[in-house]
Amino acid sequence: MEGEFKEKKFNLEDRTYEFANNCKEFLKRIDKNIHNNEYYRQLIRSSGSVAANFIEANESFSRNDFVHKVKICRKEAKESRLWLRLVDINEQQELTREALIQETIELTKIFGAILEKTKNSN
């Protein structure tokens, strides 16, 4: 999975899909305990929401709807970062977790830039 992070996608729909899928694959390998079970569910939801809301943003009918969906994407990417930080992992999983956290940071910045550009295009 770590090799998949080396080549960045320029198609943001593909990139958000890959982020959600990489989170799913990462979670398949974590220990199941009372804490991780909840973080697992939360991360699956938030990472998938990033991808789903970006698809909805691209299909929006109005500028306001687009902005709203991109804001949700940014919020869910930040939330995904939280769940990734909280999940209990072993030492071998740390590189993958760090790559996923870095992706949340990059996606948050991308969505912020989109929002800034949209705001300045009035």
Domains, the chain, with CATH or none:
8-120 (1.20.1440.60)
HSE-up of 106 (CA within 13 Å, CB side)? 14
8 A C-beta contact, residue 31 and residue 18 = no
How many Å apart are CA 3 and CA 58, to the nearest integer?
Answer: 28
Q: At what angle do helices 94-120 and 63-86 cross, to 10 degrees?
A: 160
| Closest CA relative to residue 115, chosen from 51, 69, 52 | 69
The radius of gyration computed from the CA coordinates of the chain, to the nearest angstrom, equals: 15
How many Å apart are CA 98 and CA 117, to the nearest integer?
Answer: 29
**pLDDT at 122 (0 to 100):** 62
8 A C-beta contact, residue 70 and residue 57 = yes
Rounded to two decimals, the pTM is 0.89
Average pLDDT by consecutive 10-residue portion of the chain (122 residues)?
Answer: 49 97 96 92 98 97 96 98 96 96 98 94 70
